[in-house]
Structure 1
Amino acid sequence: MRTIEPIVRWDVAFSLFCLRSRYCNQSAMVSKAISHTGDGHLYLLFALLAVLIDSQHGGDFLAVGLTAFAVELPIYWLAKNTLKRRRPAEFSDLLQSHIVPSDKYSLPSGHSAAAFLMATVIGHFYPSLYPACLIWALAIGTSRILLGVHFLTDVLIGAALGIACANLAINSVL
C-alpha cells in the first residue's frame, strides 16, 4: 500500500483545496444540480428519443448503450466493494460532504463512469453532440469532487471505466 500513499496524500490535498475555498458553498449548490443530471434519468430519456426519432441509428444506439452498462455496472460494483476506498470526509475532519452519497465507498466514481460512457456512445452515433456531451461528463465528474463525495482519482478511474466499456460495446455490438 505504500506505493499509493503519495496518490492518497495528493488526493486529500486536492480535495482540501477544492472544499476549503471561500466559494465552496456556492459551488456546491451548482454542483448538486449538475451531479443530479448524472443520476440516470437523462440517459433513459436520450435513449428513448434516439429510438423514437432516429430510425437509422436509434436501435443500435440503444443496444450499444445497454451492452456498455451491462459491462460497466458489474465492474463498478466489484471494484467499489473490493477496493473499499473511503470517501473524502472520512480522511480528514476538514473535508465535508455536501450530499449523502448513495453508497459507502468512493472508487470508482459511478456518476463519472456513466457520464463518460454515455458521452462516448453519443459521440459515436452523433459526433456533432460529442463536444457538448464531453463537457457535460467533465462537469459531472468535477461536481462529484466539489460535493466532497469523490477524490480526483476516483473520477479519473470512473471516466476511464466508462470510456472503456463504451468502446468495448461499440466494437462488440456493431
Structure 2
Amino acid sequence: MPFLKSIHALDVQTFYWCMARKHRVLITNMSRAISKTADGPLYAVLAMVFWYVGETAWVIIMGAGFTVERLSYLVLKKGFKRNRPADILDNFSSFIIPSDKFSFPSGHTSGAFFMAFLLSEWLPDFQIGWYVWAYHVGLSRIFLGVHFPTDTLMGALLGSSCAMMALTMVGI
C-alpha cells in the first residue's frame, strides 16, 4: 500500500499544481467547452454520419467497442470507488457537477481516446488533431476539478485499449 499512497500523494500534488495556474478563469471556460465535446451525443451523431455515408462497418466497430469500453468503465468505477477531488480535498470545490460519484477512471477521457484511436484509423491524415483533442479532454477534466491526473491517464489507456480491441476483432 505504500506504493499506492505515494502515487496518490503525487497525484494530489500534480492536481494542486494544475489548480494554481494563472488565467484560471480562461482555462476553466475553455475546459468546459472542450469537456462538452466528449459528453457523448457527438459520438452518436458521428455514428449516424458513418451509417449515412455507407461505413456500416465503422458503426458496428463503434457500437461494439463502446459497449466494451462502457462496461469496463463501469466495472472499474464501481470497483475502485475512488472519490473525486472535491470529496477528499479540504477547501476545494469542482467547477462543474460530475455526472457520477467516483472519479477513477475518467469516462470522458476514455471515450475521447476511444474516438481518437478509431478516427485515426479512418482518417489518418488528421491523427494528430484527434489525439490533441483527446488529450485536451483529459486535461479539461483535471482543470474542472472532477478528476485527478491518474484518472485521466487510466481513461486514456482504457479507451485506446478498447478501440484497439474492437479494430482487431474485425481485422482492421
Question: What is the TM-score normalised by the length of structure 2?
Answer: 0.95
> How many residues are aligned here?
171
Task: Give me the whole-angstrom Cα distance separating, in 1, the residues matched to 2:73 and 2:61.
Answer: 18
Matched, 1:20 2:17: no
Q: Give the one of 142, 151, 155 matched to 2:148.
A: 151
The C-alpha deviation readout for 1:10-29, integer Å capped at 9, x for no partner, is 11111111112232222111
Structure 2 gap segments, 5+ residues each:
none
Structure 1 gap segments, 5+ residues each:
none
Q: Which amino acid aligns with 1:83?
A: F
Q: 1:94 to 1:18 in 2, by over 3 A?
A: farther
Shift of 1:49: 1.3
Task: Give me the whole-angstrom Cα distance separating, in 2, the residues matched to 1:123 and 1:33.
Answer: 22
Task: Give me the whole-angstrom Cα distance separating, in 2, the residues matched to 1:129 and 1:21.
Answer: 30
Matched, 1:86 2:94: no
Query: Which residue matches 1:132?
Result: 129
* RMSD over aligned Cα atoms: 1.2
Alignment of 1:64-75 (within 5 A): 64-75=61-72
- 8 A contact 1:12–1:91 mirrored in 2: no
- 8 A contact 1:72–1:162 mirrored in 2: yes
- 8 A contact 1:19–1:95 mirrored in 2: no
Task: Give me the whole-angstrom Cα distance separating, in 1, the residues matched to 2:30 and 2:168.
Answer: 36
Query: Which residue matches 1:44?
Result: 44
Task: Give me the whole-angstrom Cα distance separating, in 1, the residues matched to 2:26 and 2:90.
Answer: 20
Shift of 1:146: 0.3
Shift of 1:173: 2.3
Q: Secondary structure at the match of 1:44?
A: helix
Question: Percent identity of the aligned residues?
Answer: 37
The C-alpha deviation readout for 1:69-109, integer Å capped at 9, x for no partner, is 11111110011011000111223224320000000000000
Query: Which residue matches 1:76?
Result: 73
Larger deviation, residues 126-135 vs 69-78: 126-135
The C-alpha deviation readout for 1:103-134, integer Å capped at 9, x for no partner, is 00000000000000011111112212222111
Shift of 1:160: 0.3
Query: Which residue matches 2:138?
Result: 141
